[in-house]
Amino acid sequence: MSRLSQSIDRVTALLEDADLAGDAAVRELLAETTRRRSLDLSDLTLAEQAALIGARSQELQPSTEALAERLAKAAGEGRPFVAKFGIDPTGAEVHLGHTVPMLILGRFQRMGHQVVFIVGDMTAKIGDPSGRSDDRPALTDERIAANLATYRQQVSPFFDFDRAQFRHNGDWLRQVTLPRVIEILSQIPVSMPLQREDFRKRLDAGQGLSMAELAYSVVMALDSVETNCDLEVGGIDQFLNMQMCRKVMDICGQTPELVVATSLIEGTDGAGTKMSKSRGNYVPLVAPPGEIFGRIMSVPDRLVDPYLRALSEWADAELAVVGARVAAGSLHPMDLKKILAGEITAAIHGVDAAMKAREEFVARFSRRVFGDVDDLPSVTDLDQPVTEVVKALGFAKSNGDVRRVAQQNGLRLVVESDGDQETVTLTADDTREPLAALVDGMLAGRTGDCYLKVGRKLARVTR
């Protein structure tokens, strides 16, 4: 029996029999599933390795069987099987949506294969046009350098960089000559990049489409040529880009890579769009444990299963067990969501930090005893308007965001004394007033600790 099968058996027993509302059982569960994220998978057969990869792929081209054959071919040739993943540093933060293909890449590493993590410092100058409805603003070299400064550190929970390659594609793309580019482009029909639906929509709408954007996937494909990789992992939105990689590798006399495309996870707002920084519905890897836990707890219940499937190492059999318990009423959906939040928090910060975040979340939102929470930000300058206070806390990005929370009755002042709470709901008009005036006027005569609640976020008010 493989190490993975043994871990699945242990977790399944917990999921079937344990009180998953209790901290002790959840800690035991998270300890096992977090250990699995670094579990040595080299004892799996090549067919089992391919099946494990295929189980979490939305598309595996050409097939799971072809992956097993390619793994066997590399082993027969006495060379490492090479799997690659690339990300452009168009922003300073890596978020959970990016980690879905990273988890697949991490499994290849734990199977004993060579993984290459590529940061596209050169391709970022073009900007990946996938899914965009307009031109991406050009990035300066300085901005790109600032963005990628901490990328390796941010993704380190998912890889052992002592055994993985971390490379910048500018190291080779700056050496590519114009004759070489023309030689490759001359063998690619224009119809190939124009197959993209997002390009066609932009052209139909009379919007711009630059030659650089048309060439983006060709430039990206040179990463695959440089690494001569066996397989590339990426989100399903990268599927056509990866098809171009296969084409260019063939032009360059290499065996085309296999493609693993993973599903895109929906953003935390549950609005039906993918997780992205531009929409603000993302979970950054740099966030502290409490924030990660809280953001996951804010997602709609319907996202718990796809999040577990995409962001954890749980097997289908384990997901089936908890699904059956929820359906039977022996596991409350809120308790399962807390397990999901703990799973993701533990992956980045460890089990102890995840359990502390769980405890504080319960104190803050379940028992609602805010005084039990010891890591709350504090508001000391009460002379500012509420909008400025909320933005300074990092709870909203704009005055409009603050007013929208107020319009949804999510902006409140709370006074807590001996566990009892009194709450005053602030209106959109109140957001323009100095916080001090609202505290003095609305909470006059009330004693106890004062808090400002913005949606699910909380800050202590010193008055």
164 pLDDT more than 60: yes
pLDDT score for 130: 61
pLDDT for position 81: 98
Crossing angle for the helix pair 178-185 and 211-227, to the nearest 10 degrees: 100
- List of domains in the chain: 1-36+278-367 (1.10.240), 40-262 (3.40.50.620), 378-461 (3.10.290)
Average pLDDT over residues 199-215: 78
Q: Produce one character per residue of 402-414: b if its CB has 16 or more CB atoms within 10 Å, e if not.
A: bbbbbeeebbbbb
Looking at the predicted structure, is the pLDDT value of residue 25 above 90? Answer: yes
pLDDT(135) > 70 = no
pLDDT at 131: 52
pLDDT (tens digit, 9 = 90+) per residue, 253-304?
Answer: 999 999 999 999 999 888 888 998 878 889 999 999 999 999 999 999 999 9
User: Would the pLDDT of 133 be above 50?
Assistant: no
- The count of other CB atoms within 10 Å of the CB of residue 67 is 25
Residue 159 · residue 109 · CB < 8 Å: yes
pLDDT tens per residue across span 65-81: 999 999 999 999 999 99
Which residues, 6 or more positions from 381, have their beta carbon under 8 angstroms from its beta carbon? 389, 392
Residue 138 DSSP code: P
DSSP 363: I
Spatial distance between the Cα atoms of 63 and 2, rounded to a whole number of angstroms: 24
Model pTM? 0.77
pLDDT at 364: 74
Q: What is the pLDDT of residues 33-63, one digit of tens each?
A: 999 999 999 999 999 999 999 999 999 999 9
